Amino acid sequence: MPDVDEMKEAKQYYTDIPQKTEGFFLKGSNSLDWGMKNRLARIFNPVSGRTVMLAIDHGYFQGPTTGLERIDVNILPLVPYADTLMLTRGILRSIVPPSIQKPIVLRVSGGTSILKELSNEEIAVDIEDSIRLNVCAMAVQVFIGGEYERQSIINMTKMVDIGTRYGIPTLAVTAVGKEMARDVRYFRLATRICAELGAHYIKTYYVEKDFETVCASCPVPIVMAGGKKIPELDALTMAYNAVQQGASGVDMGRNIFQAESPSAMIQAVKAVVHNSETPEKAFDLYNTLRNQQ
């Protein structure tokens, strides 16, 4: 206990210095609560305002996807390069060491497989388990225009409500059914609906034409999904264009873990996303790192 007699007259009130009220760096997120912002600030780098999420959740509906057959062997070595891991609780508990320092975005919708109608999802993880797993966000698939559109939207709004109680953000993942046109009008529609209904950030696909209008009309951050494997330079170009046109990063899976050198690829993607490196220079980096292995 400090001796009361020795306590100095408090003089450090700095009455001449107004307390700073800082805005939050992330688009549309300034009115969120502290815990929610803190989790988002772990997912998105506060310096660049962007993220490289490594998506490895594909198995929740399609089993052992190429490149994800052995997550312990093929994916754990990539973790140091990722800003965030997006995965299921099954893989998190069975394979990822709990000493990991990376923020986790947990897949919480599910219940369907590639053998059936994919949009027929439910919420498949109790909020208590997300809290127990110390996740930084919860990801829900939203099938705008899909057979179970309404159900998937309500899955998302329920997670927004429940997550808001505990300060955990919801990531809406816009899914594109086989029958839907992947055009800019569709993605403007899908992302805006998710944002209007409360999603804290939204994952969507890149489109060549007018992608900047998808980002501009969505009031919260967008992260670009990678999609099917394409040549490395093309994937880097797509990521570059997406962030230059307003995306706050990427949530890439196959274009990283199916690359000839996944560790070189994720480092090249990071250069594009965080340092705005050109696709050509990032591809040089990719080749240099790949040749060093």
Residue from the set 32, 40, 55, 215 that interacts with ligand R5P by CB under 6 A: 55
259 lies in the binding site for ligand R5P (CB under 6 A): no
Tell me the window of 20-28, 92-100, 120-128, 224-232 that interacts with ligand R5P (CB under 6 A): 224-232
- How many residues touch ligand R5P under the rule CB under 6 A: the total is 13
Residue from the set 71, 82, 85, 86 that interacts with ligand R5P by CB under 6 A: 86
Question: For residues 30 and 82, is the Cβ–Cβ distance under 8 A?
Answer: no
Cα separation, 102 vs 270, in Å, equals: 15
Residues 6+ positions from 292 with CB-CB distance below 8 Å: none
226 lies in the binding site for ligand R5P (CB under 6 A): yes
Question: For residues 160 and 170, is the Cβ–Cβ distance under 8 A?
Answer: yes
User: Which residue number, 45 or 204, has a Cβ lying nearer to ligand R5P?
Assistant: 204
Structure-token match 């000493």, residue found: 99
Residue from the set 37, 89, 200, 254 that interacts with ligand R5P by CB under 6 A: 254
User: Which residue number, 55 or 214, has a Cβ lying nearer to ligand R5P?
Assistant: 55
CB of 144 to ligand R5P, least distance (A): 14
Question: For residues 200 and 206, is the Cβ–Cβ distance under 8 A?
Answer: no
Tell me the window of 153-161, 225-233, 234-242, 277-285 that interacts with ligand R5P (CB under 6 A): 225-233
User: Which residue number, 32 or 105, has a Cβ lying nearer to ligand R5P?
Assistant: 105
Binding mask 158-177 for ligand R5P (x = CB under 6 A): ---------------x----
102 lies in the binding site for ligand R5P (CB under 6 A): no
Q: Nearest Cα to 205, choosing from 271, 144, 279, 281?
A: 144
**Neighbour-count burial of 83, counting CB atoms closer than 10 A to its CB (0-12 exposed, 13-18 middle, 19+ buried):** buried
- Tokens (6 digits) for 225: 């999904």
Q: Give the residue numbers marked as catalytic.
A: 203
The CA-based angle 183-216-149, given to 5 degrees, is: 50
**Neighbour-count burial of 43, counting CB atoms closer than 10 A to its CB (0-12 exposed, 13-18 middle, 19+ buried):** buried
118 lies in the binding site for ligand R5P (CB under 6 A): no
89 lies in the binding site for ligand R5P (CB under 6 A): no
272 lies in the binding site for ligand R5P (CB under 6 A): no
Tell me the window of 75-83, 123-131, 247-255, 259-267 that interacts with ligand R5P (CB under 6 A): 247-255
252 lies in the binding site for ligand R5P (CB under 6 A): yes
Question: For residues 191 and 202, is the Cβ–Cβ distance under 8 A?
Answer: yes
User: Which residue number, 226 or 249, has a Cβ lying nearer to ligand R5P?
Assistant: 226
Structure-token match 């600030």, residue found: 41
CB of 153 to ligand R5P, least distance (A): 16
Cα dist from 61 to 23, 87, 119, 124, 227, whole Å = 39, 12, 11, 12, 15
Question: For residues 214 and 184, is the Cβ–Cβ distance under 8 A?
Answer: yes
Residues of this chain that interact with ligand R5P (CB under 6 A) are 55, 57-58, 86, 173, 225-227, 251-255
